[in-house]
Structure 1
Amino acid sequence: MKDSIKKTFKTFKYLVLFFTIGYWIYIVIDDYSFIENYWSANELLYIRVWAGYYLACLLVFSIYFWLVSLIGILIYHKFIKRKATLSN
């Protein structure tokens, strides 16, 4: 089971990397009009708001990912793998 969690953590690291890159590219494209018009007045405010949304989205992503992953790992190790071992 430890091996499955290690593999899942490795997958999670790559997904977080892709999520981070995708989020920051998306936020610049989505808010480009705000950047052009208002960036010089409130640049720190925009960065704080974007970082807050990023952290909130990352937290939700992490909770869902680990919830689904751990349930899948537990089902596999407790039922599927045990059933295959018992039938042999």
Structure 2
Amino acid sequence: MKNSFKKALKLFKYLSILFSITYWTYMIYDDWIFIENYWDTNWQDYICTWTVWFLIYFWVFAFYYWLTAIVVALVYHKLIKRKR
């Protein structure tokens, strides 16, 4: 079971990097009009807001990922592997 969590951690690292790159790219694309028009006045607010939303989305992503990983590992090791 320890090996399953090592694999899940490795996959989580790669998915976290992909999630981060995708999120930040989309935020810049989505808010480009605000960047062009208002970046000079309050760029700190934009970066702070984007970071807060990133942390919220990342925590939700991590929670659902680990919940799914634990359920899959437990089902595999307790039910499927036991039947063999």
TM range (shorter): over 0.9
TM-score normalised over the length of structure 2: 0.99
Q: Tell me the equivalent position of 2:52.
A: 52
Give structure 1 stretches of 5+ with no counterpart.
none
Cα displacement (A) at 1:56: 0.2
Root-mean-square deviation over aligned CA pairs = 0.4
TM-score normalised over the length of structure 1: 0.94
Q: Tell me the equivalent position of 1:23.
A: 23
Runs of 4 or more consecutive aligned structure 1 residues displaced over 4 Å after TM superposition: none
For the pair shown, which has the larger CA radius of gyration, 1 or 2? 1
Q: Which gives a bigger RCO, structure 1 or 2 (Cα 8 Å, sep 6+)?
A: 2
Q: Tell me the equivalent position of 1:73.
A: 73
- Structure 1 distance, partners of 2:56, 2:39, is 23
Cα displacement (A) at 1:67: 0.3
Cα displacement (A) at 1:53: 0.3
- Structure 1 distance, partners of 2:54, 2:67, is 20
- Structure 2 distance, partners of 1:40, 1:82, is 62
- Structure 2 distance, partners of 1:36, 1:42, is 12
Q: Tell me the equivalent position of 1:36.
A: 36
